[in-house]
Amino acid sequence: MKKLDQTKVEYLISLLQRLEYGSLLITVHANEITQVEIKEKTRIANTGTVK
């Protein structure tokens, strides 16, 4: 297993910290992170407010 690049780790952590609802897809090729895809969702409460 290859050691992770600290810059990439910090970037992934920052994405996770801002993500309230959704998913984070990390694509790896040959032990390297090659692509990151973030999908955010918006929840609409019963009161009609957007969260």
For the chain, domain boundaries: 1-51
For residues 36 and 15, is the Cβ–Cβ distance under 8 A? yes
The pLDDT, as a whole number, for residue 49 is 67
Residue 24 binned pLDDT confidence (cut-offs 50, 70, 90): very high
3-state secondary structure at position 9? helix
47: left (phi over 0), alpha (psi -120 to 50) or beta: alpha
The pLDDT, as a whole number, for residue 1 is 61
Residue 40 CA to residue 22 CA, distance in Å, equals 4
Q: Which helix (H) or strand (E) holds 13?
A: helix 6-18
